[in-house]
Structure 1
Amino acid sequence: MKYIVEHMEEGFSEWVILEYSQIIRDVGKENLILTSLPSTTTEKDIPKRLLDMGLQWTTKECIDLEFDGKIINRDEIALLDPAATTDLIPEDKSKIEYFLLAGVLGEHPRKDRTGILREKYKFLGRRLGNLQMTTDSAVRTAQRIIDGTKFEDIKFLDYPEIKYNKYESTEMPFRYIVDDNNEPILPEGMLELIRKDADQSIDDLLIDE
């Protein structure tokens, strides 16, 4: 399965770098591409950590992409959309080749920024439940479903409390898949980022450049 992320933020915050890095680890560099970067973008504008991991990126829109020399068929793209009326199911694997995600940082309460892509492209929409996820969590959830696990059989933790020292913690306003220890799966380095910036709110971290 290929994942297309229309990068809709200005630049790359540390939060975004960690999420994109984790997606590459989870699905492989060949299965992720960032699209719609500003037309003036050059390689020096892409964080070195992402380039070193083999990140694919382009200033083209998703509808102008080719993968492995094959022009993308619009009918094979599904927008992962919290406002979609149809849930993603394992059987969708037979008709979906590409998932499109809005590369936006979470906001609480959620704003419908995915709606920009919904109106622009008119792609098939698929929903991953009714709560907001981080980009890497959405990819992880979609991949598990396409690999055969029903959404209702995936174990999630909503709005987990992340403790960064003995006395302090912060609530993450997102839904996460949990690991075998019932702990939310965060991108590598995310817990350290939260601890490092303990004096900042989660909203501040999301928009930090």
Structure 2
Amino acid sequence: MAGKTYIVEHLDEELGPWSELEYITIARESQETGSKFFLSSLHPQFKVPDALAAIPSFTAERRGVEELYADKKSRVCLLDPQGKSDLAPEDADNFDVFLFGGILGDDPPRDRTSELRAKGFEGRRLGPVQMTTDTAVRVTRLVVEGKTPLKDIPYVDFPELKFNEYESTEMPFRYVKTEDGKPIMPEGMVELIKKDADKGIDDML
């Protein structure tokens, strides 16, 4: 089966370091599985990082999804916590494009999919627990391309990351987990989280 297309409507003018690592991961995994990854509705001043631009599966797009798929709207699935049903393997027959509106990965969650929902894209849920953007795309791919039901995907919720004997932090998200129970996270993410945590401690001193 041909790979699907995964689109994140990037709603910010800039790209933060967390999102950059997530997007690079999505692009790499899309490349490995024969899928495509788009960032759409990009601001004119948005600069695509070189590491992301170098991945063949990735496309930077100034246009929004509504314009890109004006004549194929029914083939676009919006991953939406307020969707009427959960994403299922059979949705692979119904949709070619899976759309993420920026809500996933926010803590506390913000309803940033509301504009896309109002445009009439059909919605599906990924479960009750917030996911990072790369996790949401990974789970969607496992369901529609890997034919794995949501309930059968191995998850770890709110994992604790231990940096050393004294430092740790709990992540407020759901992740897909490896066979040894560790959360699948973008390369370099743990180091970035530790750096941010150290920065926060320094600010309090």
**Do the structures match in fold with TM over 0.5?**
yes
Match of 1:17, as an amino acid? E
Q: Which residue is equivalent to 2:108?
A: 109
**Is 1:145 the counterpart of 2:148 in the alignment?**
no
**Structure with the larger RCO, 1 or 2 (CA within 8 Å, 6+ apart):** 1
TM-score normalised according to structure 2 size: 0.87
Among all aligned residue pairs of Structure 1 and Structure 2, give the percentage whose two residues are the same amino acid: 43
Match of 1:174 in 2: 173
Counterpart CA distance in 1 for 2:36 and 2:17 is: 22
Q: Retained in 2: the 8 A contact 1:164–1:194? A: no
SS of corresponding position for 2:165: coil
Counterpart of 1:127 in structure 2 is 125
3-state DSSP class of the match of 1:157?
strand
- The offset of 1:30, in angstroms, is 5.6
Aligned pairs for 1:64-103 (under 5 A) are 64-65=67-68, 73-103=72-102
Contact 1:163-1:169 at 8 Å conserved across structures: yes
Among 56, 64, 84, the residue aligned to 1:61: 64
Gaps of 5+ in 2: 201-205
Deviation track 1:119-167 (CA, whole Å, cap 9, x = no partner) reads 2x21000000011111100000011111211111011111111112221
Q: Does the alignment pair 1:27 with 2:33?
A: no
Q: CA deviation at 1:106?
A: 2.7
- The match for 2:198 is 199
Query: RMSD between aligned alpha carbons?
Result: 1.8
Q: CA deviation at 1:10?
A: 2.6
Displacement of 1:105 in angstroms is 6.6
Task: Tell me which residue corresponds to 2:203.
Answer: none
Partners of 1:111 and 1:117 in 2: how far apart?
14
Aligned counterparts of 2:110 and 2:189: Cα–Cα separation in 1: 23
The count of aligned residue pairs is 193
Greater Cα shift, 99-108 or 89-98: 99-108
Within 1, Cα distance between the matches of 2:82 and 2:177?
24
Of 12, 26, 32 in structure 2, the residue corresponding to residue 9 of structure 1 is 12
Runs of 4+ in 1 over 6 A off after TM superposition: none
